[in-house]
C-alpha cells in the first residue's frame, strides 16, 4: 500500500503567506513611491499655458523703405514668421527629417524612437533623433537642457499635454520659430537671412533641405564651417522627403545639384548701410532703452532706398580708389634689370612652391610689361600672373584756370616702370591686382528726397569695419567754394541780381599781417557779373559780395538754411573757412531745390511693434526760409556751374542738374554738392589725418566723379525732369564775356513792393 502523500507543514504555508504579504507590500510601496513621484513630478511641471501665447524674445528688424532687410538688433537673432510666410517644402523638410509621424502621434512617438535607435546602431553614430517636434518644443521652452532621466520623463509628460492643448499647426509655428540653427540664428526666418541673406519665403528646396539638416548639431553641420558635412545632411533630408512621399526622386536629385550661394557676412548690420544702422541703434537705445529694443521685435522702417544705397557704395569705393591710385601708391621695393626679370620670376615661384594662392594674401610681384597705352601693367607673381592698372598723377593746374576747381582732366602716367617690384594683394573675385597697402582716402555721401528730406542713401566712410566714425554727419570740414552759393543766395535777397557787376580786382584788409585774398589763378578779371563770379568761383568777387551784405547777416542766413555748426564771422567765410558737416551742406542746398522750403534730413519713417501697431510716425516738417524766386535763381545759377563751370562733368548725366564744387587749401578737402529735381546729394573726399589729398585733387577732380557715378546708377530707371519755374520769374538777356547775350533769370517786380518787406533784410 503506497504511502499517503504528506500534507504541507504549517510552517511552509506560513512562509508562502509571508512571501505573498511582503510581495504585495513591496508592490504597494512601489506604487505609492511611483504615485508620490508622479504627484511631485506633476507639481513641478511648468505651466504649458505660457505656450498658448507664444511671445519669445524677438530681434528688432531695421528695414529699407521697400521693406527689404538692412539690419538686426537682438539678444537672440529671431524674426517671427507665420507658417503662411514659409514655403511648403521648408515645412515638409523639417517634418520629414525631425518627426515624420508628427501628425499621427500624440506628442511622444515610441515607433520613431525605436526606428531612430536602429538607424543609429546601424550607422555607428547618431544620425537621427528620437524626440518628436513636440518634445523639442517643450525642452526648449519649458525645461532645462541637462540630460537626465527625470528631465526626459518631464519632457514626455509635457509633450503629451502640449499636444492636447495646442493644434499641430500651433506647435509647428512655435518649433520653426524657436529652433536654434547656428551662428546665432533662432528660427528659420533668421537662419534664412543669416545663411542666404533672403526672406524665408524665398528659400529654394535645396536651401530649405540644408536648413532642415541643422537642428541635430548646428555647429557641426554649418555650411559656413563644414560644407561637406552640411551637404551630407542635406542629402539625408532630401532622401527622407522621398521616403515619406512628399518629394519625387528627380526633384530631390535636382535640388541636391543646385549650387548654394551663402551670404558673405553673417552680420546684416555691416552689409548695406552700417552707418545708418548705427544711427538707428543709437536713436532707439536713447528713446526706448537697449533691453526693450533687443527683445521687443520692433520693425523699424527707414527711408533708405536700396538702389540708391548700392549706387552710393559703389561710387564711393571707385572714387576713393581712383584718388589713391593717382597719389598714394607705394614706392617700388626694388628695381630688377630687364635681363634679370625672367630669373627673378622663377625665384619667386620657387620660394612660394608650397604656398597656396589665398584670397587677400600679399605677394611680391615684378612689372614685366606695360601696354602700349601705358594704362596697364602685366605683373609676374609667385603664384602666376596678373594685370595691374597703373596709377595716374593729375597734371598741374592750367595757367588759364578760371577758378580753384579747374585742374586739368588729362593726367600723365605715374612713375612705375618695367622691373619695378611691389607688394600686391590677391583678390580673385576682382579682375585686377591692387597694391597691398591700405587706402587711406575717405569719402562720405548723403542723398535726400527733395520734398521730404528722407535720406535715400548714406555712406559715412568707405569701411565701417575700420572706423564707426560717420563722416556724413559727425565730421566738420571746411567746404571751400561749396559754401559760396549760400553767400550768393543771401545777396539775392539783398537786391543783388545775376546781372549785378562786382569788381574783380586786388583788395587788401588791414591786420597783422594784412590779408590780400587771391583768385586761384592769381589773376583779376576786372568788372565781373554776379553770375560769372559764382560760375567761375572767383574768390575776390565772393569776398566783395560778403563785404557788401554784411558778415553777420550772411551767418544768420546760412543758419536759416540749415547750417548749425559755428560760423566764424569774418570775410574768409566767403571762401568756406568754417567747418561744417556734409549733412548741413546738403540741407542748405536742398532749400534751393525745394522752392525755398527747408526740410531736415531724417532716416526713420515709422516704427511698428511686434503686433504691427504703429508706435512712431515721422511728422512732416517743412519751413519756408527763402523766397521761391530766390531759390529758383540759385538753381538756375548752379545749373550754369554745370554747363559752363567746374561742374562740367555732370553734363554726362544727360538731365537737368545743378551743383557746386568745393576745394580747400592744399587740396585737403574736395566737395561736390548738387541736385536734380527729385534728389539733393553731396560728396566729400579727404583724409582723416587732415593732410593733403595730393596736387590737383579738387572738388571737380575727386568729388564730382563720385557724384556723377552715383546719380547715373541711382536714377537709371527714373525719367529726367525739369526744374519747375515759380511764378514771378522773368528771363532777360545779360551780356556775358562773349558776344552773345545770356538769357538769365530775374525776380519780377512786386505789385506792391513797399508793402512786401524782404524777410532777410533784418534778423532772419
**Annotated active-site positions, please?**
98, 481
User: What is the CB-side half-sphere exposure of residue 595 using CA atoms within 13 A?
Assistant: 11
Q: Which residues pair with 687 in a beta bridge?
A: 441
User: Three-class SS of residue 671?
Assistant: strand
User: Three-class SS of residue 669?
Assistant: strand
Query: Residue length, the chain?
Result: 764
- Grid cell 567765410 is found at 573
**Residue 108 DSSP label:** -
Burial class (CB in 10 A: 0-12, 13-18, 19+), 146: exposed
d(CA 205, CA 179): 19
d(CA 702, CA 370): 26
Helices (H), 650-733: 704-714
C-alpha torsion sign, points 357, 360, 363, 368: positive
Closest alpha carbon to 450 in 642, 724, 667: 724
Contact between 586 and 660 under an 8 Å Cβ cutoff? The reply is no
Q: How far, in whole angstroms, is CA 236 from its chain's centroid?
A: 36
**Residue 742 DSSP label:** E
CA–CA distance from 542 to each of 65, 458, 487, 548, 585 (Å)? 41, 31, 8, 10, 18
Burial class (CB in 10 A: 0-12, 13-18, 19+), 759: middle
For residue 450, cis peptide bond before it (omega within 30 degrees of 0): no
- Grid cell 548695406 is found at 272
Contact between 56 and 178 under an 8 Å Cβ cutoff? The reply is yes
Number of H helices, E strands in the chain: 22, 24
HEC string of 341-356 equals: HHHHHHHHHHHCCCCC
CA–CA distance from 622 to each of 64, 350, 602 (Å)? 23, 69, 12
Contact between 671 and 682 under an 8 Å Cβ cutoff? The reply is yes
d(CA 694, CA 692): 5
* β-bridge pairing 455-459 and 501-504: unpaired
Closest alpha carbon to 363 in 378, 385, 339: 385
Contacts of 432 (CB under 8 A, 6+ apart): 386, 387, 388, 389
Closest alpha carbon to 327 in 38, 696, 738: 696
* β-bridge pairing 434-435 and 420-425: antiparallel
Amino acid at each position: 500500500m503506497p504511502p499517503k502523500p504528506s500534507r504541507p507543514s504549517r510552517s511552509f504555508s506560513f512562509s508562502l503567506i509571508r512571501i505573498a504579504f511582503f510581495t504585495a507590500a513591496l508592490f504597494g510601496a512601489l506604487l505609492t513611491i511611483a504615485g508620490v513621484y508622479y504627484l511631485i513630478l506633476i507639481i513641478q511641471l511648468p505651466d504649458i499655458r505660457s505656450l498658448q501665447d507664444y511671445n519669445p524674445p524677438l530681434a528688432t528688424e531695421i528695414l529699407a523703405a521697400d521693406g527689404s532687410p538692412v539690419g538686426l538688433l537682438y539678444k537672440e537673432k529671431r524674426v517671427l514668421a507665420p507658417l503662411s510666410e514659409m514655403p511648403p517644402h521648408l515645412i515638409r523638410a523639417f517634418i520629414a527629417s525631425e518627426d515624420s509621424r508628427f501628425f499621427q502621434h500624440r506628442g511622444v512617438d515610441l515607433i520613431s524612437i525605436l526606428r531612430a535607435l536602429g538607424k543609429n546602431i546601424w550607422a555607428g553614430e547618431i544620425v537621427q533623433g528620437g524626440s518628436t517636434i513636440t518634445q523639442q518644443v517643450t525642452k526648449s521652452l519649458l525645461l532645462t537642457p541637462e540630460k537626465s532621466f527625470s528631465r526626459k520623463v518631464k519632457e514626455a509628460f509635457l509633450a503629451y499635454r502640449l499636444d492636447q492643448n495646442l493644434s499641430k499647426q500651433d506647435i509647428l509655428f512655435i518649433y520653426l520659430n524657436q529652433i536654434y540653427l547656428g551662428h546665432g540664428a533662432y528660427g528659420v526666418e533668421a537662419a534664412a537671412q543669416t545663411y542666404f541673406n533672403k526672406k524665408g519665403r524665398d528659400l529654394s528646396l535645396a536651401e530649405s533641405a540644408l536648413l532642415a539638416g541643422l537642428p541635430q548639431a548646428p555647429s557641426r553641420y554649418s555650411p559656413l564651417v563644414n560644407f561637406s558635412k552640411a551637404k551630407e545632411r542635406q542629402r539625408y533630408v532630401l532622401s527622407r522627403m522621398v521616403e515619406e512621399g512628399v518629394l519625387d526622386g528627380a526633384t530631390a536629385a535636382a535640388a541636391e545639384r543646385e549650387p548654394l550661394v551663402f551670404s558673405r557676412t553673417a552680420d546684416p548690420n555691416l552689409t548695406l548701410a552700417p552707418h545708418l544702422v548705427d544711427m538707428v541703434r543709437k536713436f532707439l537705445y536713447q528713446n526706448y532703452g537697449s533691453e526693450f529694443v533687443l527683445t521687443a521685435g520692433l520693425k523699424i522702417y527707414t527711408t533708405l532706398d536700396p538702389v540708391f544705397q548700392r549706387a552710393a557704395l559703389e561710387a564711393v569705393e571707385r572714387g576713393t580708389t581712383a584718388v589713391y591710385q593717382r597719389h598714394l601708391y607705394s614706392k617700388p621695393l626694388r628695381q630688377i634689370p630687364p635681363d634679370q626679370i625672367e630669373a627673378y620670376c622663377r625665384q619667386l615661384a620657387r620660394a612660394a612652391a608650397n604656398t597656396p594662392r589665398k584670397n587677400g594674401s600679399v605677394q611680391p610681384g615684378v612689372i614685366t610689361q606695360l601696354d602700349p597705352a601705358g594704362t596697364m601693367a602685366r605683373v609676374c607673381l609667385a603664384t602666376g600672373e596678373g594685370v595691374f592698372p597703373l596709377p595716374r598723377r593729375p597734371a598741374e593746374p592750367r595757367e588759364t584756370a578760371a577758378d580753384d576747381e579747374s585742374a586739368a582732366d588729362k593726367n600723365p602716367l605715374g612713375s612705375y616702370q618695367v622691373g619695378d617690384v611691389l607688394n600686391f594683394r590677391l583678390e580673385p573675385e576682382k579682375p585686377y591686382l591692387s597694391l597691398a597697402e591700405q587706402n587711406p582716402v575717405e569719402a562720405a555721401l548723403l542723398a535726400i528726397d527733395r520734398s521730404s528730406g528722407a535720406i535715400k542713401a548714406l555712406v559715412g566712410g568707405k569701411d565701417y569695419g575700420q572706423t564707426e566714425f560717420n563722416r556724413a554727419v559727425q565730421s566738420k570740414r571746411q567746404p571751400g567754394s561749396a559754401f559760396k552759393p549760400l553767400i550768393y543766395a543771401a545777396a539775392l535777397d539783398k537786391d543783388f541780381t545775376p546781372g549785378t557787376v562786382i569788381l574783380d580786382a586786388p583788395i587788401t584788409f588791414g591786420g597783422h599781417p594784412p590779408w590780400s585774398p587771391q583768385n586761384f589763378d592769381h589773376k583779376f578779371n576786372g568788372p565781373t557779373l554776379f553770375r560769372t563770379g559764382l560760375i567761375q568761383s572767383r574768390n575776390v568777387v565772393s569776398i566783395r559780395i560778403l563785404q557788401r551784405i554784411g558778415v553777420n547777416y550772411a551767418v544768420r542766413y546760412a543758419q536759416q538754411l540749415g547750417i548749425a555748426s559755428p560760423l566764424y564771422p569774418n570775410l574768409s567765410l566767403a571762401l568756406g573757412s568754417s567747418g561744417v558737416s556734409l549733412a548741413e551742406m546738403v540741407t542748405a542746398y536742398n532749400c534751393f531745390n525745394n522752392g525755398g522750403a527747408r526740410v531736415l534730413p531724417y532716416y526713420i519713417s515709422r516704427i511698428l511693434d511686434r503686433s504691427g501697431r504703429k508706435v512712431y510716425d515721422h511728422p512732416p516738417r517743412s519751413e519756408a526760409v527763402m523766397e521761391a524766386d530766390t531759390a529758383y535763381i540759385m538753381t538756375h545759377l548752379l545749373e550754369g556751374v554745370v554747363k559752363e563751370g567746374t561742374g562740367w562733368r555732370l553734363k554726362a548725366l544727360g538731365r537737368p542738374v545743378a551743383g557746386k564744387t568745393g576745394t580747400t587749401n592744399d587740396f585737403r578737402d574736395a566737395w561736390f554738392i548738387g541736385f536734380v529735381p527729385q534728389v539733393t546729394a553731396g560728396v566729400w573726399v579727404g583724409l582723416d589725418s587732415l593732410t593733403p589729398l595730393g596736387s590737383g585733387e579738387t572738388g571737380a577732380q575727386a568729388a564730382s566723379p563720385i557724384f556723377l557715378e552715383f546719380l547715373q546708377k541711382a536714377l537709371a530707371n527714373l525719367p529726367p525732369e525739369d526744374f519747375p519755374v515759380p511764378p514771378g520769374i522773368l528771363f532777360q538777356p545779360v551780356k556775358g564775356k562773349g558776344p552773345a547775350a545770356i538769357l538769365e533769370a530775374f525776380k519780377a517786380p512786386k505789385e506792391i513792393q513797399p508793402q512786401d518787406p524782404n524777410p532777410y533784410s533784418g534778423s532772419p
